[in-house]
Every structure is written in structure tokens, then in C-alpha cells.
Amino acid sequence: MKNILLTFFFIASLSALIEAAEVEVTAPDTQKIDSLMFVGNSFFYYNNSLHNYLNQLVKNDKSIESLKQRSITINGSSLSWHPLESYLDNKNIGSFRIDTSNDNEYIKSEDTSIDAVIFMDCSLCPIHPMTKDNFHKYVAEHSETIRSKGMEPMLFMSWPYKNKPLMMQELRQEFIKAANKNNILLIPAGEAFYRFTKAYPDIDLYTRDLRHPSKEGTYLAAAVVFATIFNTAVEGNKGIKDIDPEVALKIQQIADRTVQEFFGH
């Protein structure tokens, strides 16, 4: 386990007064990941799903052979809504696919194993006074369940709302607390959103509801997942889907910088 001293910055006022805060994060060493399951809500499934953006990055990096992915989402859901053990025990999940590019051929898969599970709570659950305790309760319970199946638990840090950037301070505190307490890897997507919005306020990571991700936001989240779980730089990766190439490069650079500083690489 690595003990890493990180320096984070948070907005002390809307006029951008910045104060430095030191937070110690412990992060377990991640094993080789060949198969992955996402468990979450609409923050994952917007823009035809985060896992499809991640898949494009994987396909365009020669150092990664492949990555099998499954995404299970419920709109508006908290961790308490997901019967996680039943997902992990269900060997039918991923047991076949229909190849629409080859006359709808049915292709059976013998291996439905999962190496790691990335899970997230609702966007306010980690900091809302009525749900904060349950956030920590279910992070612990789900982490134990995932480990009991021989898989690695990973917690996805959500981002502050566009019109409420000060959420980041509270989110950071609760996510790091939960990750450290349960010795699980923390995917710092929220940190990347916060940093990118400050650096490039003209590039909108949000939809009109100021909460859900635009396609650029989903791409940033996928880039952070990629850089975190593979410990590999994303800058220069050609898997950008329909993102403007200049915007994609900025997203990649922020993702790399965020992950490198977060984990002290």
C-alpha cells in the first residue's frame, strides 16, 4: 500500500480565493485488469455510456490487449439500490453477445469473470446529511462483497455541480475518507472536472441541467478511469470518438495531470 502526500486546492469563495490543503491518501496497488464492471447511475450511462468511451481508449493503446466491460446502472440510484452480490453471482451476465456487424451472429462467451468493479453513489449522497452515513455504510459493504468474490473494488469520485463548485471540498473529504477507510482505489474524476472547468471554462463538461456530463465530460471521466486503472498516460490516444481533437487533447492532458498528482506519480 502506498502512502502519498497530496496537495489539493479548493475555492474558498466564488471570487476564486484559493487556499492550500494537505490530504494524505492511501491507495492499494492495482492488479492487472482484463475485465471490468461499472455499477452506478445516470452519471455513467449518459452519452451512450462511459464504458464505450473507455473502450475507445483501450482499443487505441497498443500496450493494453483488451478489456471486457459491463455497465449496470439505475437512474438516480444510490449504492443502497444495487443488489451487488446478485450481479456478481449471476454468471449469465456477459455470457453472450449479438454481433450486429455480422448478420446478428450469436457469440457465446465461456468466461464471465470480473477482475474489478467500479461503483459510485448518487451525486449528492456522499455529502447530503440524510444520506452521508449510508454512503459510508454501503461503500464498506460493497467493498467487502466485491473482495469476497476475488475481485477488486474501486470507488468513483463524482464531480461538483456546475453552479456549485464548492461541493468539491465536501466531496473530496468524504470520498478520500471512504477510500482510505476501506483501502480501495479511488478514481479521481471529480478532481479532474474541477481542474478542467477552472482551466477551460469555455469548454462545457455539463449538460443544461448543470449536473450530468456532456460528451466532453463523459470523455474526461473515461480518460481518468483509463489513466488510473492502467497507470498509463492518455495524452495522444486517438480514441476520441466524436470529440473535437483540440478539445480531446486538453481533456487528455488534464486527466493525466490529475491522476499523476493525485497518486504522486
CATH code, 33-81+113-263:
3.40.50.1110
Complete DSSP assignment for 11-66? ESSTT--EEEEEEEEEEPPPPP-SEEEEEE-HHHHGGG-HHHHHHHHHHT-TT---
Region 127-144: what's the mean pLDDT?
Answer: 98
- Rounded Cα–Cα distance for residues 130 and 3 (Å): 32
What percent of the chain shows pLDDT beyond 90?
A: 86
> For residue 133, how far is the Cα from the chain centroid?
21
Closest CA to 188 of 115, 116, 256, 117: 256
Which residues fall within 8 angstroms of residue 154, CB to CB, at 6 or more apart?
Answer: 30, 116, 117, 118, 119, 184, 185, 186, 187, 229
> For residue 242, how far is the Cα from the chain centroid?
20
Q: What is the maximum span of the chain, computed from C-alpha positions, in angstroms?
A: 59
Confidence of residue 264 (pLDDT cuts 50, 70, 90): confident
Region 77-105: what's the mean pLDDT?
Answer: 96
**Is pLDDT of 63 > 50?**
yes
Closest CA to 222 of 261, 194, 255: 255
Which residues fall within 8 angstroms of residue 163, CB to CB, at 6 or more apart?
Answer: 210
Confidence of residue 28 (pLDDT cuts 50, 70, 90): low
Confidence of residue 124 (pLDDT cuts 50, 70, 90): very high
**Is pLDDT of 74 > 70?**
yes
- Rounded Cα–Cα distance for residues 194 and 157 (Å): 11
**Is pLDDT of 25 > 70?**
no
> Could you read off the pLDDT of 139-184 as tens digits, one per residue?
999 999 999 999 999 999 999 999 999 999 999 999 999 999 999 9
- Rounded Cα–Cα distance for residues 155 and 185 (Å): 6
- Rounded Cα–Cα distance for residues 26 and 4 (Å): 6
- Rounded Cα–Cα distance for residues 180 and 105 (Å): 45
Q: What is the pLDDT of residue 22?
A: 40
Cell of 205: 463538461
**Comparing 79 with 26, which gets the higher pLDDT?**
79
Helix-helix angle 189-199:245-263, to 10 degrees: 130
**Is pLDDT of 75 > 60?**
yes
Q: What is the pLDDT of residue 27?
A: 62
> Could you read off the pLDDT of 34-44 as tens digits, one per residue?
999 999 999 99
